[in-house]
Copies of this chain bind each other. A is one copy, B any other.
Amino acid sequence: MKAAVFVEPGRIALEERPIPDIGPLDALVRVTTTTICGTDIHILKGEYPVRKGLVVGHEPVGVIEKLGSAVEGYREGQRVIAGAITPSGHSYASLDGCHAQCGAGTRHGFKPLGGWRFGNTIDGCQAEYVRVPDAMVNLAPVPDGLSDEQVLMCPDIMSTGFAGAESGRVRLGDTVAVFAQGPIGLCATAGARLRGATTIIGVESVPGRMAMARRLGADHVVDFRQVDPVEEILRLTEGRGVDVAIEALGTQQTFEACLRVLRPGGVLSSLGVYSTDLKLPLGPFAAGLGDHTIVTTLCPGGKERMRRLMNVVAAGRIDLGPLVTHRFKLDEIEAAYDLFGHQRDGVLKVAITP
């Protein structure tokens, strides 16, 4: 089969690979649509290290080709998705409800990110076929009537973005700021809206993303190239600051800005992948006396999470279709990486079809 493989920093290439073997708990899924994530770009650039030769990609939509001998409750030919995070369901962390930090093999798993396996510690899904581990935990049947592209955001972007609002404990009537309106930030904006926030302020400067933010639920969009976003958010909130600030970029600047607009007792919900140490400035952190909460969230996974997210789509509560701005064949994935990695041509997300 064809698969996008991490060759070396700076190079992900399409290669020929054998179709994966599966164990008793696994499933083999024929991928019908997948996409490229910002994390894949980190991998491409060598900023997030994975082993050479790994098949990348962690957002699969497909059809069950084969089921492991111990797998029950599914049938071959069934349309499914799996989350970017594939918990084992049997780790101590998973049984404690923390599926993304599922450190298989240890008792509690001190090593973080244990639940992220596709395109990280095992072969991923930018390929014709993918082996899904712990299939009964991770395979989520796609409801009739939903297209591949309609559920393509569920495995990662939507799950992560919504989690920003959920971990932030957004309540009815809250004021929420979302820093950066890339795909994750847009989904955080939509998630805050869905949970009942009433003043949602997006921060962005790319016109297409600013427009999409408004479409997905932002009441205000602040262009950080035109105004200082901290000042503007304090102005919009009459000096009170926000109840929840969501970081969706992964930089010191946005992280710190979140803290600066956060009211005492508020929650900073961080989704970004950082690449440097972070600084908590003394004043905005209120010297540790502001009753602040800072919470980070790795994408929630597992079939129950996927079921809920597909419910949101099926109910028509959100239309993420417009996030798919470009479409490529798997054969063209190197061009897709080039476009997506350089954020050219107003790209938000690409759909890749093997």
Contacts and interface: CB of A to CB of B under 8 A. Distances in A.
Nearest to A107: B240
B89 A137 contact: yes
A301 to B, nearest CB: 9
B317 A265 contact: no
Given A110-B234, A265-B98, A293 B291 contact: no
A317 B198 contact: yes
A45 to B, nearest CB: 14
Nearest to A283: B277
A219 B315 contact: yes
A328 B293 CA distance: 39
Given A99-B95, A239-B106, A292 B289 contact: no
Oligomeric state, in copies? 4
A89 B90 contact: yes
Contact of A95 (B96, B195, B285, B305): B305
Contact of A109 (B69, B263, B295, B307): B263
Contacts of A101: 263-265, 290-291
Interface in A262-320: 263-265, 270-282, 285-298, 302-305, 307-309, 311-312, 314-315, 317
A97 to B, nearest CB: 5
B263 A108 contact: yes
Interface residues of A, number: 100
Contacts of A175: 311
Contacts of A278: 279-280, 282, 285
Contacts of A263: 101, 108-110
A15 interface: no
Nearest to A198: B315
Contact of A294 (B70, B279, B294, B302): B294
A166 interface: yes
Nearest to A234: B110
A270 B97 CA distance: 23
A119 interface: no
B198 A195 contact: no
Interface string A62-98: 0000000110110000000000000111101111111
A90 B23 CA distance: 17
A100 interface: yes
A196 interface: yes
A179 interface: no
Given A95-B99, A166-B172, A288-B296, 13 more contacts: A23-B70, A24-B70, A101-B291, A110-B263, A112-B290, A112-B291, A173-B307, A195-B195, A198-B311, A277-B279, A279-B280, A289-B296, A294-B294
